[in-house]
Amino acid sequence: WGEWRSARGCPRSSRVVAFRLRVEAPRGLRDDTAANDADMACSDGTVLRGDGAAGGEWGEWSDSCPPALGVCGLRTRVEAPQRTRDDTGLNSVQLICCA
């Protein structure tokens, strides 16, 4: 569930090379949301700002892809359905760099 936000992309001849997530810490008996927003850094220095929820704290920027490489894939950590317990959905992301 949820809604798609508008697509964003790096300027021509630039690639995504790093990211950071806004993640809400576990809230105990209250509704947990986990990852709420993401910013992406382009190889030309442009930062693509996410348009997500305000809950949580920004994490540190990921390591940047090595020079001449950019993001070509990703891996996500998603919580399995918790049935009668609180679900979070997306909890973490790893970007994969390649030429």
pLDDT (tens digit per residue) in 29-80: 667 777 888 999 999 999 999 888 777 899 999 999 999 999 999 998 887 7
Q: Tell me how far apart the alpha carbons of residues 93 and 78 are, in angstroms, rounded to a whole number.
A: 9
The whole domain housing 73 covers: 16-98
Domain count, the chain: 1
Sorted by sequence, the CB contacts under 8 Å of residue 43 that are 6+ apart come out as 10, 14, 15, 16, 17, 65, 70
Q: What CATH number is attached to the domain comprising 76?
A: 2.100.10.20
One-letter amino acid at 13 equals S
Q: Where are the beta strands (DSSP E) in the chain?
A: 16-23, 35-42, 47-48, 57-58, 70-78, 90-98
Identify whether 22 is part of a domain: yes
Identify whether 10 is part of a domain: no
Identify whether 37 is part of a domain: yes
Query: Is the per-residue pLDDT at 10 higher than 90?
Result: yes
Identify whether 9 is part of a domain: no
Q: Tell me how far apart the alpha carbons of residues 97 and 94 are, in angstroms, rounded to a whole number.
A: 10
Identify whether 44 is part of a domain: yes
Tokens in use for 30?
């209250």
Identify whether 6 is part of a domain: no
